[in-house]
Chains A and B, each alone.
Chain A
């Protein structure tokens, strides 16, 4: 029972964690990209098309490209012309919803939901998957989940241990000061945005190929926005961000259980809980940051 719950939590958390870790890099550079909701949707669509045409590998690759392409539009406008990031990100998400919805109708026909795709098989890690309680949930998952485990330390290394990370954080904390010491702020931020787009695209891939198994219009349903909340909750640190993603995944998985068990507490409270938690956490953050 707890094992099943945890398994579902990890599966649901995977796309959230991928997108949120990408967005962590973006936000470290002083940019907030509400377009990752769109990038994730584009990734989901790319995954469905790619996997349908040439298998799961092609699906993952197409998802990555679609995410990067979506992020490139955001970068061109928000960094290239320095337009308002929030408005640009919102528009990118709106546009991607429209584009994917229309093309999906064309590619998959009216049926849409009936579409059957090859999906990513679960890969059992010998040894680790035998650990009591956590072995099965954490180490019998799709390859994209294991990729997420790898990305957590990698992102930390990128942000805190590389020259690029230093420039990125400098750009995020004080663009003027960073520019004064020779950091090309726009370029550093653009790289972060494209990286964030790639991660959001992979998030879309894991949603389609490891969780839902099909593409439907607007299927991300706000998961990209949730990823932004997760970044807040994890205070822009890859480890805590991943943990926050697991918390959201757990809350989502818990809904199904609670819904089934018929306890007195309305299950919608569980749906709302992570968002309320995120709000509580932002409130505790040191004032004056924004």
Chain B
């Protein structure tokens, strides 16, 4: 068995730190060129992310939770050599299913209700992945196209849900009614918005790590990701089965991410529940070098960035989308550095 390709190993820690630094530096330069007060903007960014216990516990860690879960979702698919560009859609489906479940479990105690709500989200996310899996295995259609297309269908599904079957009782607003109290994830500390979703995300990272490195399936997954043909010829591994499982788990995690967001933050279904988490999480996974621990750290960093962006918009008038510049620069720097390494080998 040869070592996995450097693509699946991802860039080193040094590269990750460098990429994040370059991202922040270019953001500062860009804000200066665009005529914003750079000092005030970055100060607001810092305040919103780490400036107070409230910023950390009610903004940064709340934003980091879905990013970590979705980052893990992208990582699982990537390890098997597949790109899940449809996490936005699986997240949405997970949110729909979780809301539906959450509206029906009022009679149950939380320790039954919460697993049911989260389970519904995960199942819906995986189910949303069935079509891309079938298309890839049966017709050789790349999951990139199919998952991307399904994002739009998911969007329409949310729109239908909040104006149709799941609409709040007065039928005025395009949103669902609040889910049952027993379906809501408990807060970790009183007075802070962070919720049980964070430890769940950390636990998932641990489980994914164990799966990758300690299980037979993880070994097969890495083998297939490193080269499907080689895995089949030398290891007798059925690449398509492993790939299908990886995509389904990826969808399940993304769906769970949506469920955690409903159950821990919004308590109801809205349109545009995700401010692009499904795409930001690609940056998280890449920055985290496609390693569970790395994804946790990168998720926290991007969570901080997203939280800081809110403050930057409020206090310095810089639109929150500015952080997408950082995300883009991080991704592009990393892919360039990784490619340079590969070529040097």
Give residues in A with beta carbon < 8 Å to B. Answer: 32, 34, 73, 77, 81-84, 86-88, 90-92, 94-99, 101-106, 110, 217-218, 222, 225-226, 228-229, 232, 266, 268-269, 271-272, 275-276, 278-279, 282-285, 287-290
Contact = CB atoms under 8 A, between A and B. Distances in A.
B340 A102 contact: no
B153 A290 contact: no
B335 A228 contact: no
B331 A279 contact: no
B135 A102 contact: no
B136 to A, nearest CB: 8
A222 B152 contact: yes
Given A83-B335, A105-B318, A91 B139 contact: no
Contacts of A282: 135, 139, 141, 145-146
Contacts of B159: 268, 271
Task: Enumerate the 8 nearest inter-chain pairs by beta-carbon distance, A residue then B residue, closest first.
Answer: A95-B328, A98-B324, A101-B321, A98-B325, A91-B331, A83-B335, A272-B156, A268-B160
A283 B149 CA distance: 13
B78 to A, nearest CB: 10
A272 B321 contact: no
A87, A96, A104, most chain B CB atoms within 10 A: A87
A88 B338 CA distance: 12
Chain B: interface size category: 35 or more
Contacts, number: 155
B27 to A, nearest CB: 9
Interface string B309-345: 0000000011101111111110110011011100000
A278 B283 CA distance: 28
Contacts of B339: 81-83
**Interface of chain A, helix or strand or loop or mixed?**
helix
Contact of A94 (B35, B83, B324): B324
Given A83-B336, A106-B36, A285 B139 contact: yes
16 contacts: A77-B335, A86-B144, A88-B331, A92-B328, A95-B325, A98-B323, A98-B325, A99-B30, A99-B325, A105-B319, A225-B152, A268-B163, A271-B155, A283-B135, A288-B140, A290-B140
A78 B339 CA distance: 10
Contact of A266 (B164, B276, B325, B328): B164
**Interface of chain B, helix or strand or loop or mixed?**
helix
Nearest to B140: A287
Contact of B156 (A95, A97, A102, A269): A269
A285 B319 contact: no
Nearest to B36: A106
Contacts of B83: 86-87
A102 B321 contact: yes
B35 A106 contact: yes
B325 A102 contact: yes
A102 B144 contact: no
B126 to A, nearest CB: 18
Contacts of B331: 87-88, 90-91, 94
B142 interface: yes
A86 B85 contact: yes
A94, A217, A289, most chain B CB atoms within 10 A: A94
A135 B248 CA distance: 49
A279 B128 CA distance: 13
B282 interface: yes
